[in-house]
Amino acid sequence: MFPNVPKRHVAVVARRKTGKVGSKKGSDRVVQIVTDGDNDLANYVVQFFPYTLDNIDMFHINEYLVMKNRWMLFHSNLVA
C-alpha cells in the first residue's frame, strides 16, 4: 500500500483506472482484486467493485494460520 494515502482514495483511483480500460459493469472482462485481508479494503472493494473477485494473497493467509496455530499451541499447553 502507499504510505500516507487513505485507503478509500486508493480504491477510488483503482476504480477510475479500471473503468478507463473497459472493465465496467456489464463488460465481459473479469476484475480480480488481491488484498491483504484488511477489512477496510474489503468494504471498499464491495463498494467500488461490486462485480469483481476479491482474493487474499497467500502470504497473509499463511501468516494468519501460523499465528492462530501458535495461539492454539500456547493455550493448549496452559490447559494441560
Residue 2 lies in a domain: no
In a domain, 71, yes or no: yes
Encode pLDDT of 2-27 as tens digits: 566 788 888 888 888 887 766 666 67
22 assigned to some structural domain: yes
Inside any domain, residue 48: yes
Confirm whether 69 is domain-assigned.
Answer: yes
**Domains held by the chain: number:** 1
> For all residues of the chain together, what is the average pLDDT?
76
**Which domain does 63 fall in, by range?**
7-79
The DSSP string of 18-80 is HHHTT--TT-S---EEEE-S-HHHHHHHHHH-TTSEEEE-HHHHHHHHHHHHHHHHHHHHHH-
The reply to whether the predicted model has a pTM over 0.85 is no
Domain assignment present for 30: yes
